[in-house]
Structure 1
Protein backbone atom coordinates (compact mmCIF):
# COMPACT_ATOMS: atom_id res chain seq x y z
CA UNK A 1 0.00 0.00 0.00
CA UNK A 2 1.34 3.42 -0.95
CA UNK A 3 1.42 6.47 1.31
CA UNK A 4 1.63 10.17 0.51
CA UNK A 5 4.74 10.39 2.69
CA UNK A 6 6.52 8.14 0.17
CA UNK A 7 6.24 10.78 -2.58
CA UNK A 8 8.07 14.11 -3.07
CA UNK A 9 4.79 16.04 -3.16
CA UNK A 10 6.43 19.45 -2.94
CA UNK A 11 8.43 19.14 -6.15
CA UNK A 12 5.50 20.06 -8.39
CA UNK A 13 2.18 21.90 -7.87
CA UNK A 14 0.16 18.79 -8.76
CA UNK A 15 1.36 15.32 -7.75
CA UNK A 16 -0.40 11.99 -7.43
CA UNK A 17 -0.41 8.22 -7.51
CA UNK A 18 -2.71 5.22 -7.84
CA UNK A 19 -3.55 3.12 -4.80
CA UNK A 20 -5.71 0.26 -3.53
CA UNK A 21 -7.20 -0.62 -0.15
CA UNK A 22 -8.66 -3.87 1.20
CA UNK A 23 -12.25 -4.26 2.37
CA UNK A 24 -12.65 -2.93 5.90
CA UNK A 25 -9.64 -0.60 5.66
CA UNK A 26 -9.77 2.46 7.95
CA UNK A 27 -7.41 5.42 7.65
CA UNK A 28 -7.64 7.28 11.00
CA UNK A 29 -8.12 11.07 11.25
CA UNK A 30 -5.36 13.02 9.51
CA UNK A 31 -4.83 16.10 7.33
CA UNK A 32 -2.56 17.21 4.48
CA UNK A 33 -0.83 20.51 3.83
CA UNK A 34 -2.05 20.32 0.24
CA UNK A 35 -5.52 20.08 -1.20
CA UNK A 36 -6.45 16.48 -1.95
CA UNK A 37 -8.44 14.99 -4.79
CA UNK A 38 -9.31 11.31 -4.51
CA UNK A 39 -10.94 9.52 -7.42
CA UNK A 40 -12.59 6.19 -6.67
CA UNK A 41 -12.31 3.82 -9.64
CA UNK A 42 -13.75 0.73 -7.93
CA UNK A 43 -15.40 0.12 -4.57
CA UNK A 44 -17.05 2.56 -2.16
CA UNK A 45 -15.33 4.89 0.30
CA UNK A 46 -16.75 6.89 3.19
CA UNK A 47 -14.82 10.06 3.99
CA UNK A 48 -15.64 11.67 7.34
CA UNK A 49 -14.60 15.19 8.32
CA UNK A 50 -15.53 17.16 11.41
CA UNK A 51 -18.52 18.71 9.65
CA UNK A 52 -19.69 16.08 7.16
CA UNK A 53 -19.71 12.46 6.14
CA UNK A 54 -19.30 11.83 2.39
CA UNK A 55 -20.14 8.73 0.39
CA UNK A 56 -17.72 8.28 -2.53
CA UNK A 57 -19.12 5.79 -5.07
CA UNK A 58 -17.17 4.40 -8.05
CA UNK A 59 -16.26 6.81 -10.84
CA UNK A 60 -16.70 9.84 -8.58
CA UNK A 61 -14.14 12.07 -6.87
CA UNK A 62 -13.88 14.07 -3.65
CA UNK A 63 -12.07 17.37 -3.17
CA UNK A 64 -10.69 18.14 0.30
CA UNK A 65 -9.22 21.60 0.91
CA UNK A 66 -5.76 21.78 2.45
CA UNK A 67 -5.77 21.15 6.19
CA UNK A 68 -9.08 19.28 6.26
CA UNK A 69 -8.96 16.67 9.03
CA UNK A 70 -10.65 13.52 7.72
CA UNK A 71 -10.77 9.76 8.02
CA UNK A 72 -11.45 7.14 5.36
CA UNK A 73 -13.45 3.91 5.59
CA UNK A 74 -13.58 1.34 2.78
CA UNK A 75 -16.72 -0.80 2.82
CA UNK A 76 -15.21 -3.11 0.20
CA UNK A 77 -11.98 -3.33 -1.77
CA UNK A 78 -11.15 0.03 -3.32
CA UNK A 79 -8.99 1.09 -6.26
CA UNK A 80 -8.33 4.83 -6.41
CA UNK A 81 -6.13 7.68 -7.53
CA UNK A 82 -5.11 10.45 -5.14
CA UNK A 83 -3.72 13.81 -6.26
CA UNK A 84 -2.17 16.44 -3.98
CA UNK A 85 -2.52 20.00 -5.23
CA UNK A 86 -1.02 23.31 -4.19
CA UNK A 87 -4.03 25.09 -2.63
CA UNK A 88 -2.93 28.36 -4.25
CA UNK A 89 -3.97 26.87 -7.61
CA UNK A 90 -7.68 26.68 -6.73
CA UNK A 91 -8.74 29.29 -4.21
CA UNK A 92 -12.40 28.82 -5.24
CA UNK A 93 -12.54 25.32 -3.74
CA UNK A 94 -12.75 26.04 -0.02
CA UNK A 95 -15.38 23.40 0.78
CA UNK A 96 -15.09 19.62 0.69
CA UNK A 97 -17.27 18.26 -2.09
CA UNK A 98 -17.99 15.14 -4.13
CA UNK A 99 -18.44 15.58 -7.86
CA UNK A 100 -19.17 13.77 -11.09
CA UNK A 101 -16.19 12.74 -13.19
CA UNK A 102 -16.38 13.07 -16.96
CA UNK A 103 -14.45 10.75 -19.25
CA UNK A 104 -12.01 13.59 -19.92
CA UNK A 105 -11.38 14.29 -16.22
CA UNK A 106 -10.97 10.57 -15.56
CA UNK A 107 -8.36 10.31 -18.31
CA UNK A 108 -6.53 13.38 -17.02
CA UNK A 109 -6.48 11.99 -13.46
CA UNK A 110 -4.95 8.76 -14.78
CA UNK A 111 -2.30 10.74 -16.67
CA UNK A 112 -1.33 12.93 -13.71
CA UNK A 113 -1.30 9.90 -11.42
CA UNK A 114 1.55 8.44 -13.47
CA UNK A 115 3.65 11.58 -13.89
CA UNK A 116 7.31 11.50 -12.96
CA UNK A 117 8.00 13.62 -9.82
CA UNK A 118 10.10 15.98 -11.96
CA UNK A 119 7.67 16.38 -14.85
CA UNK A 120 8.08 19.38 -17.15
CA UNK A 121 5.88 22.22 -15.88
CA UNK A 122 6.08 24.08 -19.20
CA UNK A 123 5.63 21.04 -21.43
CA UNK A 124 2.82 18.56 -22.12
CA UNK A 125 2.64 17.30 -18.53
CA UNK A 126 2.25 20.77 -17.10
CA UNK A 127 -0.49 21.56 -19.63
CA UNK A 128 -2.36 18.38 -18.65
CA UNK A 129 -2.20 19.28 -14.95
CA UNK A 130 -3.55 22.77 -15.64
CA UNK A 131 -6.32 21.40 -17.85
CA UNK A 132 -7.33 18.94 -15.12
CA UNK A 133 -7.72 21.73 -12.55
CA UNK A 134 -9.77 23.76 -15.02
CA UNK A 135 -12.07 20.82 -15.80
CA UNK A 136 -12.58 19.93 -12.13
CA UNK A 137 -14.20 23.32 -11.56
CA UNK A 138 -16.79 22.48 -14.22
CA UNK A 139 -17.86 19.11 -12.79
CA UNK A 140 -21.39 18.94 -11.28
CA UNK A 141 -21.65 18.23 -7.56
CA UNK A 142 -23.32 15.12 -6.16
CA UNK A 143 -25.73 15.01 -3.19
CA UNK A 144 -23.40 12.92 -1.05
CA UNK A 145 -22.70 14.90 2.14
CA UNK A 146 -24.28 14.40 5.55
CA UNK A 147 -23.92 17.01 8.30
CA UNK A 148 -22.20 15.43 11.31
CA UNK A 149 -22.77 16.63 14.90
CA UNK A 150 -19.95 17.71 17.18
CA UNK A 151 -21.55 16.33 20.38
CA UNK A 152 -19.84 12.94 20.91
CA UNK A 153 -23.12 11.37 22.09
CA UNK A 154 -24.91 12.36 18.89
CA UNK A 155 -21.86 11.50 16.83
CA UNK A 156 -22.04 7.95 18.21
CA UNK A 157 -25.60 7.68 16.87
CA UNK A 158 -24.68 9.09 13.46
CA UNK A 159 -21.66 6.84 13.03
CA UNK A 160 -23.79 3.82 13.91
CA UNK A 161 -26.29 4.77 11.20
CA UNK A 162 -23.57 5.44 8.63
CA UNK A 163 -22.12 1.99 9.35
CA UNK A 164 -25.55 0.32 9.20
CA UNK A 165 -28.26 2.40 7.46
CA UNK A 166 -30.72 -0.48 7.90
CA UNK A 167 -30.68 -0.20 11.71
CA UNK A 168 -34.39 -0.03 12.63
CA UNK A 169 -34.15 1.38 16.15
CA UNK A 170 -36.88 3.89 17.01
CA UNK A 171 -36.31 7.33 18.49
CA UNK A 172 -36.24 5.96 22.04
CA UNK A 173 -33.60 3.42 21.06
CA UNK A 174 -31.38 6.09 19.54
CA UNK A 175 -31.86 8.38 22.53
CA UNK A 176 -30.81 5.49 24.78
CA UNK A 177 -27.68 4.93 22.67
CA UNK A 178 -26.84 8.61 23.12
CA UNK A 179 -27.59 8.33 26.88
CA UNK A 180 -29.98 11.26 26.56
CA UNK A 181 -33.65 11.81 27.25
CA UNK A 182 -35.97 11.63 24.25
CA UNK A 183 -36.80 15.35 24.17
CA UNK A 184 -33.22 16.42 24.80
CA UNK A 185 -32.00 14.05 22.08
CA UNK A 186 -34.45 15.20 19.41
CA UNK A 187 -33.80 18.89 20.15
CA UNK A 188 -30.01 18.53 20.21
CA UNK A 189 -29.96 16.37 17.07
CA UNK A 190 -31.86 18.97 15.06
CA UNK A 191 -29.74 21.82 16.39
CA UNK A 192 -26.48 20.11 15.45
CA UNK A 193 -27.41 18.56 12.09
CA UNK A 194 -30.10 20.90 10.84
CA UNK A 195 -32.52 17.99 10.41
CA UNK A 196 -34.65 15.64 12.45
CA UNK A 197 -33.45 12.09 12.96
CA UNK A 198 -35.92 10.62 10.46
CA UNK A 199 -34.81 13.01 7.71
CA UNK A 200 -31.12 12.50 8.51
CA UNK A 201 -31.55 8.71 8.46
CA UNK A 202 -33.31 8.94 5.11
CA UNK A 203 -30.33 10.87 3.74
CA UNK A 204 -27.98 8.19 5.07
CA UNK A 205 -30.01 5.48 3.39
CA UNK A 206 -30.18 7.29 0.06
CA UNK A 207 -26.45 8.03 0.05
CA UNK A 208 -25.73 4.38 0.84
CA UNK A 209 -28.16 3.37 -1.91
CA UNK A 210 -26.40 5.58 -4.46
CA UNK A 211 -23.07 3.90 -3.75
CA UNK A 212 -24.58 0.43 -4.14
CA UNK A 213 -26.52 1.32 -7.29
CA UNK A 214 -23.35 2.79 -8.79
CA UNK A 215 -21.74 -0.63 -8.29
CA UNK A 216 -24.55 -2.17 -10.33
CA UNK A 217 -26.33 -3.93 -7.46
CA UNK A 218 -30.01 -4.83 -8.12
CA UNK A 219 -32.59 -2.33 -6.92
CA UNK A 220 -34.36 -4.95 -4.76
CA UNK A 221 -31.13 -5.90 -2.99
CA UNK A 222 -30.22 -2.27 -2.40
CA UNK A 223 -33.68 -1.42 -1.02
CA UNK A 224 -33.51 -4.08 1.68
CA UNK A 225 -29.82 -3.55 2.43
CA UNK A 226 -30.31 0.13 3.28
CA UNK A 227 -33.38 -0.44 5.43
CA UNK A 228 -36.52 -0.04 3.31
CA UNK A 229 -39.45 -2.40 3.85
CA UNK A 230 -40.00 -2.91 0.14
CA UNK A 231 -38.42 -2.01 -3.23
CA UNK A 232 -41.51 0.06 -4.09
CA UNK A 233 -41.15 2.18 -0.94
CA UNK A 234 -37.47 2.72 -1.72
CA UNK A 235 -38.19 3.61 -5.36
CA UNK A 236 -40.85 6.12 -4.36
CA UNK A 237 -38.50 7.97 -2.00
CA UNK A 238 -35.60 7.81 -4.46
CA UNK A 239 -37.74 9.24 -7.26
CA UNK A 240 -39.07 12.03 -5.05
CA UNK A 241 -35.59 13.11 -3.99
CA UNK A 242 -33.59 12.58 -7.19
CA UNK A 243 -36.28 12.92 -9.84
CA UNK A 244 -35.63 9.51 -11.37
CA UNK A 245 -36.16 5.84 -10.62
CA UNK A 246 -33.26 3.85 -9.12
CA UNK A 247 -33.10 1.79 -12.31
CA UNK A 248 -32.60 5.00 -14.30
CA UNK A 249 -29.74 6.00 -12.00
CA UNK A 250 -28.05 2.66 -12.67
CA UNK A 251 -28.33 3.35 -16.39
CA UNK A 252 -26.69 6.76 -15.95
CA UNK A 253 -23.91 5.59 -13.64
CA UNK A 254 -20.52 5.61 -15.39
CA UNK A 255 -18.72 2.33 -15.60
CA UNK A 256 -21.78 0.12 -15.99
CA UNK A 257 -20.70 -1.18 -19.35
Structure 2
Protein backbone atom coordinates (compact mmCIF):
# COMPACT_ATOMS: atom_id res chain seq x y z
CA UNK A 1 0.00 0.00 0.00
CA UNK A 2 1.22 3.48 -0.82
CA UNK A 3 0.82 5.48 2.36
CA UNK A 4 -0.49 8.95 1.65
CA UNK A 5 -1.90 9.83 5.04
CA UNK A 6 -1.10 13.09 6.59
CA UNK A 7 1.84 12.92 8.96
CA UNK A 8 4.23 14.96 6.77
CA UNK A 9 4.16 18.63 5.89
CA UNK A 10 3.62 19.99 2.39
CA UNK A 11 6.83 22.01 2.08
CA UNK A 12 5.68 23.58 -1.17
CA UNK A 13 3.08 25.60 0.69
CA UNK A 14 4.30 25.95 4.26
CA UNK A 15 7.48 27.45 5.61
CA UNK A 16 9.63 25.65 8.15
CA UNK A 17 8.92 28.36 10.70
CA UNK A 18 5.29 29.36 11.17
CA UNK A 19 6.38 32.73 12.50
CA UNK A 20 8.53 33.56 9.49
CA UNK A 21 7.49 36.89 8.01
CA UNK A 22 5.46 36.74 4.80
CA UNK A 23 7.86 37.87 2.11
CA UNK A 24 5.51 38.37 -0.81
CA UNK A 25 1.85 39.35 -0.95
CA UNK A 26 -0.37 37.37 -3.33
CA UNK A 27 -2.29 39.83 -5.50
CA UNK A 28 -5.73 38.97 -6.84
CA UNK A 29 -7.14 41.22 -9.55
CA UNK A 30 -10.74 40.79 -10.70
CA UNK A 31 -12.30 42.36 -13.79
CA UNK A 32 -16.05 42.56 -13.24
CA UNK A 33 -19.23 44.54 -13.79
CA UNK A 34 -20.06 44.08 -10.10
CA UNK A 35 -17.03 44.99 -7.96
CA UNK A 36 -19.30 45.35 -4.94
CA UNK A 37 -19.61 41.56 -4.88
CA UNK A 38 -16.02 41.32 -3.66
CA UNK A 39 -14.52 40.25 -1.33
CA UNK A 40 -17.88 38.72 -0.36
CA UNK A 41 -17.40 35.68 1.84
CA UNK A 42 -13.64 36.01 1.36
CA UNK A 43 -13.80 38.85 3.86
CA UNK A 44 -14.52 36.32 6.62
CA UNK A 45 -12.81 33.42 8.39
CA UNK A 46 -9.38 32.30 7.14
CA UNK A 47 -9.37 34.31 3.92
CA UNK A 48 -10.62 37.44 5.67
CA UNK A 49 -7.97 37.23 8.37
CA UNK A 50 -5.31 36.64 5.73
CA UNK A 51 -6.54 39.72 3.86
CA UNK A 52 -6.27 41.80 7.03
CA UNK A 53 -2.78 40.47 7.70
CA UNK A 54 -1.62 41.35 4.21
CA UNK A 55 -0.97 37.79 3.04
CA UNK A 56 -3.03 38.56 -0.05
CA UNK A 57 -4.58 41.64 -1.58
CA UNK A 58 -7.64 42.20 -3.73
CA UNK A 59 -8.13 44.71 -6.52
CA UNK A 60 -11.40 44.93 -8.43
CA UNK A 61 -11.63 46.61 -11.83
CA UNK A 62 -14.95 47.97 -13.08
CA UNK A 63 -15.11 47.00 -16.75
CA UNK A 64 -17.66 49.73 -17.51
CA UNK A 65 -15.02 52.35 -16.76
CA UNK A 66 -13.37 51.40 -20.05
CA UNK A 67 -16.46 51.72 -22.28
CA UNK A 68 -16.29 54.14 -25.20
CA UNK A 69 -19.71 55.79 -25.09
CA UNK A 70 -21.57 57.98 -22.65
CA UNK A 71 -23.83 55.09 -21.68
CA UNK A 72 -20.85 52.96 -20.64
CA UNK A 73 -21.99 50.10 -22.87
CA UNK A 74 -20.00 46.90 -22.51
CA UNK A 75 -22.09 44.54 -24.62
CA UNK A 76 -23.83 44.24 -27.98
CA UNK A 77 -26.04 41.84 -29.92
CA UNK A 78 -24.45 38.57 -31.07
CA UNK A 79 -23.21 38.41 -34.66
CA UNK A 80 -25.43 36.04 -36.64
CA UNK A 81 -28.39 36.65 -34.36
CA UNK A 82 -29.55 34.89 -31.26
CA UNK A 83 -30.70 35.61 -27.75
CA UNK A 84 -28.93 37.75 -25.20
CA UNK A 85 -25.94 40.04 -25.44
CA UNK A 86 -22.19 39.50 -25.79
CA UNK A 87 -19.46 41.40 -23.96
CA UNK A 88 -17.40 43.47 -26.37
CA UNK A 89 -13.79 42.56 -27.11
CA UNK A 90 -12.63 46.17 -27.46
CA UNK A 91 -13.95 47.19 -24.05
CA UNK A 92 -12.43 44.16 -22.35
CA UNK A 93 -9.14 44.76 -24.16
CA UNK A 94 -9.05 48.36 -22.95
CA UNK A 95 -9.59 47.18 -19.39
CA UNK A 96 -7.04 44.37 -19.50
CA UNK A 97 -4.40 46.46 -21.25
CA UNK A 98 -4.57 49.11 -18.55
CA UNK A 99 -2.90 46.72 -16.13
CA UNK A 100 0.37 44.78 -16.34
CA UNK A 101 0.21 41.17 -17.44
CA UNK A 102 1.99 40.03 -14.32
CA UNK A 103 -0.05 36.95 -13.42
CA UNK A 104 -2.06 34.13 -15.05
CA UNK A 105 -5.25 35.49 -16.63
CA UNK A 106 -8.32 33.31 -16.23
CA UNK A 107 -11.74 33.79 -17.83
CA UNK A 108 -14.66 32.29 -15.94
CA UNK A 109 -16.43 30.19 -18.57
CA UNK A 110 -18.77 27.15 -18.52
CA UNK A 111 -16.91 25.74 -21.51
CA UNK A 112 -13.50 26.03 -19.84
CA UNK A 113 -11.51 23.15 -18.44
CA UNK A 114 -12.50 22.00 -14.97
CA UNK A 115 -10.80 23.79 -12.11
CA UNK A 116 -9.40 21.36 -9.57
CA UNK A 117 -7.09 21.16 -6.57
CA UNK A 118 -4.01 20.65 -8.71
CA UNK A 119 -4.79 23.87 -10.57
CA UNK A 120 -5.30 25.69 -7.28
CA UNK A 121 -1.89 24.51 -6.07
CA UNK A 122 -0.28 25.65 -9.31
CA UNK A 123 -1.83 29.12 -9.10
CA UNK A 124 -0.89 29.48 -5.44
CA UNK A 125 2.77 29.25 -6.45
CA UNK A 126 2.46 32.48 -8.43
CA UNK A 127 2.64 36.03 -7.11
CA UNK A 128 -1.00 36.55 -8.04
CA UNK A 129 -3.88 35.79 -10.39
CA UNK A 130 -6.14 37.79 -12.70
CA UNK A 131 -9.78 36.71 -13.03
CA UNK A 132 -12.13 37.98 -15.74
CA UNK A 133 -15.84 37.63 -14.97
CA UNK A 134 -18.13 37.30 -17.95
CA UNK A 135 -21.81 38.16 -18.05
CA UNK A 136 -24.73 37.90 -20.48
CA UNK A 137 -24.18 35.25 -23.19
CA UNK A 138 -20.42 35.35 -22.75
CA UNK A 139 -17.56 37.34 -24.24
CA UNK A 140 -16.44 37.98 -27.80
CA UNK A 141 -14.21 35.07 -28.83
CA UNK A 142 -11.58 37.43 -30.18
CA UNK A 143 -10.61 38.77 -26.76
CA UNK A 144 -9.96 35.21 -25.59
CA UNK A 145 -7.64 34.64 -28.53
CA UNK A 146 -6.00 38.07 -28.59
CA UNK A 147 -5.20 38.20 -24.87
CA UNK A 148 -4.68 34.46 -24.44
CA UNK A 149 -7.19 34.10 -21.64
CA UNK A 150 -7.39 30.69 -20.01
CA UNK A 151 -11.01 29.54 -19.82
CA UNK A 152 -11.85 27.85 -16.52
CA UNK A 153 -15.06 26.23 -15.27
CA UNK A 154 -16.06 25.24 -11.73
CA UNK A 155 -18.71 22.76 -12.87
CA UNK A 156 -21.17 21.64 -15.49
CA UNK A 157 -23.87 24.18 -14.73
CA UNK A 158 -24.67 27.78 -15.63
CA UNK A 159 -24.31 30.74 -13.27
CA UNK A 160 -25.62 34.28 -13.70
CA UNK A 161 -22.06 35.54 -14.08
CA UNK A 162 -18.44 34.74 -13.45
CA UNK A 163 -18.25 36.45 -10.07
CA UNK A 164 -19.39 33.42 -8.08
CA UNK A 165 -16.88 31.21 -9.86
CA UNK A 166 -14.12 33.76 -9.27
CA UNK A 167 -14.84 33.76 -5.53
CA UNK A 168 -14.72 29.96 -5.42
CA UNK A 169 -11.40 29.86 -7.26
CA UNK A 170 -9.89 32.54 -5.04
CA UNK A 171 -11.01 30.67 -1.93
CA UNK A 172 -9.31 27.48 -3.15
CA UNK A 173 -6.08 29.38 -3.85
CA UNK A 174 -5.93 31.61 -0.78
CA UNK A 175 -6.20 28.80 1.76
CA UNK A 176 -3.05 27.28 0.23
CA UNK A 177 -0.95 30.41 0.70
CA UNK A 178 1.74 30.24 3.40
CA UNK A 179 0.48 31.51 6.71
CA UNK A 180 -3.25 31.20 5.97
CA UNK A 181 -4.16 27.89 7.58
CA UNK A 182 -3.54 27.52 11.30
CA UNK A 183 -2.68 23.82 11.17
CA UNK A 184 0.03 23.10 8.63
CA UNK A 185 -1.06 19.49 8.27
CA UNK A 186 -4.70 20.32 7.49
CA UNK A 187 -4.28 21.33 3.84
CA UNK A 188 -2.28 18.19 3.09
CA UNK A 189 -4.97 15.95 4.58
CA UNK A 190 -8.00 17.23 2.71
CA UNK A 191 -9.93 15.71 -0.17
CA UNK A 192 -8.13 15.77 -3.53
CA UNK A 193 -4.71 16.65 -2.07
CA UNK A 194 -3.43 13.11 -2.65
CA UNK A 195 -5.88 12.19 -5.40
CA UNK A 196 -8.45 10.74 -3.00
CA UNK A 197 -11.49 11.93 -1.10
CA UNK A 198 -10.82 12.58 2.56
CA UNK A 199 -11.32 9.86 5.14
CA UNK A 200 -14.19 10.18 7.69
CA UNK A 201 -13.62 12.50 10.64
CA UNK A 202 -14.80 12.09 14.25
CA UNK A 203 -14.63 14.07 17.50
CA UNK A 204 -16.36 14.23 20.91
CA UNK A 205 -18.71 12.99 22.22
CA UNK A 206 -17.42 9.43 22.05
CA UNK A 207 -21.01 8.16 21.70
CA UNK A 208 -23.67 9.91 19.62
CA UNK A 209 -27.16 8.39 19.33
CA UNK A 210 -25.71 4.92 19.77
CA UNK A 211 -22.92 5.48 17.26
CA UNK A 212 -19.36 5.23 18.52
CA UNK A 213 -16.00 6.33 17.17
CA UNK A 214 -14.03 3.57 15.37
CA UNK A 215 -11.78 2.07 18.09
CA UNK A 216 -8.63 2.38 15.98
CA UNK A 217 -8.86 6.18 16.15
CA UNK A 218 -8.61 6.17 19.94
CA UNK A 219 -5.97 3.43 20.11
CA UNK A 220 -2.99 5.79 20.05
CA UNK A 221 -1.36 3.55 17.40
CA UNK A 222 -0.32 6.07 14.76
CA UNK A 223 0.50 3.58 12.00
CA UNK A 224 -2.80 1.75 12.50
CA UNK A 225 -4.64 5.08 12.35
CA UNK A 226 -2.79 6.08 9.18
CA UNK A 227 -3.57 2.73 7.54
CA UNK A 228 -7.26 2.95 8.51
CA UNK A 229 -7.55 6.47 7.10
CA UNK A 230 -5.84 5.43 3.89
CA UNK A 231 -8.17 2.44 3.48
CA UNK A 232 -11.24 4.56 4.15
CA UNK A 233 -10.10 7.23 1.69
CA UNK A 234 -9.59 4.62 -1.01
CA UNK A 235 -12.93 2.95 -0.28
CA UNK A 236 -14.91 6.21 -0.35
CA UNK A 237 -13.21 7.40 -3.53
CA UNK A 238 -13.78 4.10 -5.30
CA UNK A 239 -17.45 4.13 -4.21
CA UNK A 240 -18.33 7.80 -4.80
CA UNK A 241 -15.85 9.06 -7.39
CA UNK A 242 -14.74 6.18 -9.60
CA UNK A 243 -13.25 8.70 -12.03
CA UNK A 244 -10.87 9.99 -9.36
CA UNK A 245 -10.06 6.50 -8.18
CA UNK A 246 -9.21 5.37 -11.71
CA UNK A 247 -6.61 8.14 -11.98
CA UNK A 248 -5.26 7.36 -8.52
CA UNK A 249 -5.17 3.64 -9.29
CA UNK A 250 -3.27 4.27 -12.52
CA UNK A 251 -0.79 6.62 -10.86
CA UNK A 252 0.12 4.22 -8.08
CA UNK A 253 -0.49 0.99 -10.06
CA UNK A 254 -2.45 -0.53 -7.23
CA UNK A 255 -4.15 -3.21 -9.30
* TM-score, structure 1 normalization: 0.26
CA radius of gyration, larger in: 2
User: Which has the larger share of helix?
Assistant: 1
User: Which has the larger share of strand?
Assistant: 1
* TM-score, structure 2 normalization: 0.26
Determine which structure has greater relative contact order: mean sequence separation of CA pairs < 8 Å that are 6+ residues apart, divided by chain length. Answer: 2
